[in-house]
Structure 1
Amino acid sequence: MNIIKTNVTAYAFRNINLSYERAINQWFSLNIGFGTMTQGKVPFINAFLKDEDEKRFQNLRVKATNFTIEPRFYIGKGYGRGFYFAPYYRYSDVSSNSFDFYYDYDAIDGNTYQIPLKGQGSTSGNSGGLMVGVQFFLTRSQNLVLDFWIAGAHYGSGKGDFTMTSNYVLTPEMQAQLKQEIENLDIPFVDYTVETNANGAKIKVDGPWAGFRSGLSIGYRF
């Protein structure tokens, strides 16, 4: 038994995706999926950045890809139908466009100067998780499939590099303030370190990588 599916709810987040499930026996199948998010605004960016910080990233755009290997253990009727538990591995990659960023430099003369920078970078992660779902065969011929991902979560580690460059030569005082501004963004679920130099800053991502899964897929069984 083979099933080709796509998660229709993911299209609301620009995620074009396709998965293939192959039943090995009555209780076990293997599902392999691929998805790509076209370049656009960061979903839910206002949920983890303050309003004043979000304004600094107004032209930030990202794109992403993911690849998932998902063994499924069915506890219902089997052969791809009923409730299932699915431990899974996921590889994810996220990259940005060349975006504008600025910070306010408080000079020793008492004035405040807006320092513009250009940023760009990418990061990737490997993670493992568990999902619970239920799959139905909808028609009499049992060709049309509905796959409901009830809930899933994964956790792992990610690494990446982002650079920010300025047309200005940054003094040590300007570098110190830039470093503090980036560190104060305090982006949740992301561990990063900041190094500054006369040309700008380098941000190294190295830490946890987590995510959640839920959705509704439509497929064809053959």
Structure 2
Amino acid sequence: MKKNLLSALVILFNICVAFAQTTTSVSGSNSLVSINEASLIKKNNVKISLTSLAFKNYQFQYERSLTKRIGVVVGYSFISKGSIAFKRQLSELTSDNEDNKKILDNAQLGYSAFTPEVRIYLGEGYGKGFYIAPFYRNLKYDITDVTFTFKSDLGPQEDIDMGGKLTANTFGLQLGAQFNLGKHIILDWWIVGPHYGTAKGNFDGKTDRTLTSFEQAELQKELDDIDLPLGDIEAKANRNGATIKISGPWGGIRSGISLGYRF
């Protein structure tokens, strides 16, 4: 009887050991599969905006998935110094004065923007599907050769070229969707991304000679005709030329399509 009981216990023990080994093996296999699947997920991508190229605006982004739902994006865009796009239309918006409609004819504009954002994916995740993304944006404008014409003691009229820099800081919320076009190619659609903040700018114009009181008064008339939706504008003529200070609200809307590579 004891021998039979002992034999039964040995058999039961072997069965338990065999079952435990099988369970461990299966569990380990599942974990290995999960680890392999996780390692196959591509969590990085780089992108370039296609729609902004029409404005000679080069926009680049790098994105990293931190979790299935959360990703971080760093963007940088710039416009090389050159002629302002749609300058004629912009000039016509600045003033009803025909002379002032020419102030941007020779103007040169340079631009850069740094835009970090946090993306929250609502769809498939890991950089795919619809998302919302709060973001911050720092914009810098470098503008030169803005021309103001005024009556001179030396002739019928004279020009003064002004230039300077404007910086804006804004916060916004981007709504968009990102899709796979292939194994590595992705399409990022910025559906709409309103942003709002403040801006400050300083512009100066220097003459080669000292302006008379009459010339300063005539130049001040031209400066007073500036009509831009940029908040507070303080423009003053002086004996050496003129200064313009701009401060106030600043905003815009981000929208477009980017093409990228996932890795």
Normalised by the size of structure 2, how large is the TM-score? 0.76
* Shift in Å, 1:135: 0.6
The superposition leaves residues 175-209 of structure 1 with CA deviations (integer Å, 9 ceiling, x where unpaired) of: 23322312312022353211221111011122112
Residue identity opposite 2:90 in structure 1: F
* Shift in Å, 1:100: 5.6
Residue identity opposite 2:261 in structure 1: Y
Residue identity opposite 2:163 in structure 1: Q
Confirm or deny: 8 A CA contact 1:100 1:116 kept in the other structure.
no
Confirm or deny: 8 A CA contact 2:161 2:205 kept in the other structure.
yes
Counterpart pick for 2:101 among 51, 54, 77: 54
* 66-75 or 159-168: bigger deviation: 159-168
Q: Which residue of 1 aligns with 2:148?
A: 102
Q: Note closer, same or farther for the CA distance 1:37–1:190 as it changes in structure 2 (3 Å cut).
A: farther
Counterpart pick for 1:26 among 53, 65, 68: 68
Confirm or deny: 8 A CA contact 2:220 2:236 kept in the other structure.
yes
Q: Which residue of 1 aligns with 2:18?
A: none
Confirm or deny: 8 A CA contact 1:69 1:88 kept in the other structure.
yes
More strand by share: 1
Confirm or deny: 8 A CA contact 2:87 2:105 kept in the other structure.
no
The 5 Å alignment of 1:101-140 reads 101-105=147-151, 113-139=156-182
Q: Which residue of 1 aligns with 2:124?
A: 77
* Shift in Å, 1:59: 1.2
Confirm or deny: 8 A CA contact 1:49 1:185 kept in the other structure.
no
Q: Which residue of 1 aligns with 2:57?
A: 15
For 1:49, what is the secondary structure of its paired residue? helix
Residue identity opposite 2:86 in structure 1: F
**Unpaired segments ≥5 residues, structure 2:** 1-42, 93-97
The superposition leaves residues 79-135 of structure 1 with CA deviations (integer Å, 9 ceiling, x where unpaired) of: 1111111111001111123x162323388xxxx831211222111111111111111
Q: Which residue of 2 aligns with 1:174?
A: 215
Q: Which residue of 1 aligns with 2:112?
A: 65
Q: Which residue of 2 aligns with 1:189?
A: 230
Q: Which residue of 2 aligns with 1:39?
A: 81
Q: Which residue of 2 aligns with 1:154?
A: 195
Structure exhibiting the larger radius of gyration computed from Cα positions: 2
Confirm or deny: 8 A CA contact 1:2 1:21 kept in the other structure.
yes
The percentage of counterpart residues that share the same residue type is 36
More helix by share: 2
For 2:103, what is the secondary structure of its paired residue? helix
**Unpaired segments ≥5 residues, structure 1:** none
CA–CA distance in 2 between the matches of 1:128 and 1:89? Answer: 5
Q: How many residues align?
A: 216
Q: Which residue of 1 aligns with 2:28?
A: none
Confirm or deny: 8 A CA contact 1:18 1:34 kept in the other structure.
yes
* Shift in Å, 1:172: 2.9
Confirm or deny: 8 A CA contact 1:122 1:161 kept in the other structure.
yes
Q: Which residue of 2 aligns with 1:4?
A: 46
Confirm or deny: 8 A CA contact 1:149 1:214 kept in the other structure.
yes
Residue identity opposite 1:75 in structure 2: L
Residue identity opposite 2:66 in structure 1: I
The superposition leaves residues 3-27 of structure 1 with CA deviations (integer Å, 9 ceiling, x where unpaired) of: 1111111111111221101111121
Higher RCO by CA contacts (8 Å cutoff, separation 6 or greater): 1
* Shift in Å, 1:168: 4.3
Q: Which residue of 1 aligns with 2:135?
A: 88
* Shift in Å, 1:45: 2.9
CA RMSD across the alignment: 2.1
